[in-house]
Chains A and B, each alone.
Chain A
Amino acid sequence: MTEMQYTKQPGKDVGFERIRRITGYLVGTMDKWNDAKKAEEHDRVKHDLPS
Chain B
Amino acid sequence: MQRAGVRTIKKRDGRVVLYDETKIANAILKALTAAGEEDAAAAARLANEVGEAMAEHHGKDSYRIEDIQDEAEKALMRAGFEAAAKKYILYRAQRTHVRESNTALMKACDEITNADARKSNLKRDNANVDGNTAMGSMLQIGSVAAKTYNSSHLLTEEQAQAHSEGFIHIHDFDFYSLTTTCCQIDIDKMFSGGFSTGHGYLREPQDIQSYAALACIAIQSNQNDQHGGQSIPNFDFGLGKGVAKTYRRLFAENLAKAMQLLAPEEPFDKERAKALCGEIAKKTGVGPQLEGDKAFLDALRLALSALTEEAEKIVRFATESAAKETDRRTFQAMEALVHNLNSMHSRAGAQTPFSSINYGTDTSPEGRMVIKNVLLATEQGLGHGETPIFPIQIFKLKTGVNYEKDDPNYDLFEMACRCSAKRLFPNFTNLDAPYNIKYYQEGRPETEVATMGCRTRVMGNVYDPEREIAFGRGNLSFTSINLPRIAIEAEKDEARFYKNLDSMLELVTRQLLDRFEIQAKKKVRNYPFLMGQGVWLDSDKLGPDDEVREVLKHGTLSIGFIGLAETLAALFGHHHGESREMQEKGLAIVRHMYDFCQAKSAEEGMNFTLLATPAEGLSGRFIRMDKKRYGEIPGVTDHDYYTNSFHVPVYCSISAYDKIQIEAPYHALTPAGHITYVELDGDTAQNLEAFMAVVRCMHDAGVGYGSINHPVDRDPVCGYVGIIHDVCPRCGRREGEEIPMERLAELKKHYPSLTEFMGID
Contact = CB atoms under 8 A, between A and B. Distances in A.
Interface residues of A, number: 44
B121 to A, nearest CB: 5
A35 B757 contact: no
A18 B711 contact: yes
Interface residues of B, number: 76
A7 B427 contact: no
Contact of B454 (A1, A25, A36, A45): A25
A5 B724 contact: no
B476 interface: no
A34 B659 contact: no
A40 B650 contact: yes
A23 B386 CA distance: 20
Given A45-B679, A47-B656, A26 B614 contact: no
Interface string B614-628: 111101110110000
Contact of B757 (A5, A26, A36, A39): A5
A17 B641 CA distance: 23
Interface string A14-33: 11111111111111100111
Given A5-B757, A37-B619, A14 B736 contact: yes
Contacts of A32: 124, 127
B599 to A, nearest CB: 28
A5 B425 CA distance: 29
B758 interface: yes
Contact of A23 (B455, B639, B640): B455
Q: Main SS of chain B's interface residues?
A: loop
Given A40-B640, A44-B650, A5 B655 contact: no
Contact of A19 (B424, B680, B717): B424
A29 B713 CA distance: 9
A15 B118 CA distance: 15
A24 B614 contact: yes
Given A33-B127, A36-B641, A47 B680 contact: yes
Contacts of B425: 26
Given A11-B737, A31-B118, A50-B657, A21 B707 contact: yes
Interface-central residue, A35, A37, A44, A47, by most chain B CB under 10 Å: A47
A16 B707 CA distance: 24
A40 B424 CA distance: 18
Given A5-B757, A10-B744, A25-B454, A19 B639 contact: no
Interface string B118-141: 100100110110000000000000
Given A24-B453, A49-B657, 14 more contacts: A11-B739, A18-B711, A21-B424, A23-B675, A24-B451, A24-B454, A32-B124, A40-B639, A40-B640, A43-B651, A44-B709, A45-B652, A48-B655, A50-B655
